[in-house]
Structure 1
Amino acid sequence: MRFCANISTLFNDIPKLTERYIHVLQRKDYRFDAIECQNPYDISVNEWKELISNNKSLKWILINSLPLFNQTNEIPSFIEYQQLVLNRTLDYAKALNVNKVHLVMTDANNDSDRCKIIDLVYQAAEFFQPHRIMCLIEPLSIRLNYYLQSYSMAIDIVKSSKTDNLKIMLDSYHLQRLHGNLTERVKEMIPFVGHVQISQTPNRDCPVNEDGEVNHRYFLSKLIKPFYQDFIGLEYNDSSTASMTWLNEFSITD
């Protein structure tokens, strides 16, 4: 198994994302080959480019789009959505050479809103397809009215897509909070998953913390490993002093 450090949540005692990037390179207890990031927009494209040119050993796997709920209180037209979110997201995706973008959308007050948002998702996938970028949708358990709060609905959305670059973000934290029954839910999602992230429930801390609801050793070894060979995102909260040695038991050579 291969893991990428989410520099938006890990090492949260280090204030700046670029400093966290350097910290990943300098870790001694686990050698990371890749990272992902929710909010690369806090740093300018040029600053990222300069940092990457001097430190080329880390691969960027995933970034989030600019969250639509932070850009407007309305559900925009696609042209407006492209201007508010997609153009800048694409600029960063190209600069960082990522091939996965999590489409962070907005809240829905009714079924009409939800349908409009889903239509934006489909158009966004078409927008990114020529650039060979996979779009990911993720049910969220932490926003009360978020348009997507069901993995079953996420499957239906992906099934109905006219493009092949729309997939599901499988996050063990949200999956447990929204549904539980991880074994059956994962089996149901296997054909539709484009990326996996992990963290313990309910505190979004280290996945193998035993003071939590999910046995991630079972989750990773029995459910994820048989069908998913790409990087697994470590999207959990921890400081730079926390040990990463637990990752070695899930080495790619196992």
Structure 2
Amino acid sequence: APSLRLSANLSWLFADRPGIVERLGRAAARGFRYVEAMDAGGETPASLADACRRAGGLQFALINAPPCRPPSGDLGLTALPDRREEFRAGLSAAADLCSALSCPTLHVMSGRTTVRSPEVRAAYVDGLREAVQIFAPLGVTCVIEPISNIADYYLNSYTDAVAIINDVPGLRLLLDLFHLQMLEGSLDSLPAYLPLAGHVQIAQAPGRQEPGAPGDIDYGAVLRQIGEAGYSGCVGLEYRPSDGAEAGIDWLIEMGYLQPH
């Protein structure tokens, strides 16, 4: 069977369960070994780590550095030079979380700003360098993700992301194929971007539902392509299940990517 390490995104899947601890249990029951989330879901680092152990040793693959308050609140602060102290406090909280969870990958979000000045870009790059300096010694890879559907999100282009990754040694790409399809109109660039990826996420486009749903992306072919390219990181299921809970998981089992429990 194909070997991709699938990660259940607990901020999106199992939304019929009230909290992150219940969702962890459900992920384990469905056969997942890896999970990811936007944040700790109101848990402390210690209580979330304990819940992972109780769920059969589920391993966190990815978490975001706070603050991360969608849809209308802060989505990172890296490109906001006047909020450096809050940015650093977020990195400190993220370090506690990554250490408690042994989480290998941290998404450092750019923040929301419509200002495109050289000063903002310099602040963004400096902030990312600072994050890498903190997290590399902890064995944690920092990743950045171009986002297609939030008008004022600073990092909204893959070309920009690649240029910044080339500027910041140790920084990697969070390659979300939904956003790639929406920003570029195809996945033609996938072979170029995959070697830069520290984490991959998938959802159908344009509706952002489960990968096996009808849409613009042939995920049977794309997942095969990712496996054949030798990508060894996790593939996060960051999609909105059409049934609000577990749609799409059976398709991944049928495709051989997930072993049922």
TM-score (norm 2): 0.86
The alpha-carbon deviation at position 58 of structure 1 amounts to 1.1
Q: Does 1:7 align with 2:10?
A: yes
Deviates more, 1:97-106 or 1:74-83: 74-83
Question: Is the CA contact (8 Å cut-off) linking 1:170 and 1:196 kept in structure 2?
Answer: yes
**Cα distance 1:76–1:42, how it changes in 2: closer, same or farther (>3 A)?**
farther
Match of 1:145 in 2: 152
Cα 1:58/1:117, change in 2 over 3 Å: same
Structure 2 residue identity aligned to 1:11: F
The percentage of aligned residue pairs carrying the same residue is 29
**Native 8 Å contact 2:174 2:199 kept in 1:** yes
Give the equivalent residue in structure 1 for 2:221: 218
**Structure 1 residue 26 and structure 2 residue 32: aligned?**
no
Moved more, 38-47 or 142-151: 38-47
- Report what 2:88 is aligned to: 82
C-alpha change, 1:221 and 1:192, in structure 2 (3 Å) is: same
**How far, CA to CA, are the matches of 1:244 and 1:252 in structure 2?**
8
> Could you tell me how far 1:189 is from its partner in structure 2?
1.3
2:162 is aligned to 155
Residues 91-130 of structure 1 mapped to structure 2, 5 A cutoff: 91-108=96-113, 109-111=115-117, 112-130=119-137
One-letter amino acid of the counterpart of residue 147, structure 2: L
* Contact in 1 for aligned 2:6/2:257 (Cα 8 Å): no
**SS of equivalent to 1:195:** strand
Structure 1 residue 142, shift from structure 2 partner: 1.9
The structure-2 alpha-carbon separation of the partners of 1:106 and 1:218, relative to structure 1 and needing over 3 Å to count, comes to: same
Alpha-carbon contact 1:2-1:232 (below 8 Å) kept = yes
Match of 1:168 among 163, 167, 173: 173
* 2:237 alignment partner, one of 214, 234, 238: 234
Partners of 2:209 and 2:258 in 1: CA distance: 23
Check 1:156–1:243 CA distance in 2 against 1; reply closer, same or farther (3 A cut).
closer
Deviations 1:37-71 (A, max 9, x none): 11215212232133234334311111111137267
Which structure has more RCO (C-alpha within 8 Å, separation ≥ 6)? 1
The alpha carbon displacement at 1:74 in A equals 5.0
**Corresponding residue number in structure 2 for 1:198:** 202
Residue 71 of structure 2: aligned partner: none
**Structure 1 residue 180 and structure 2 residue 167: aligned?**
no
Using structure 1 for the length normalisation, give the TM-score: 0.88
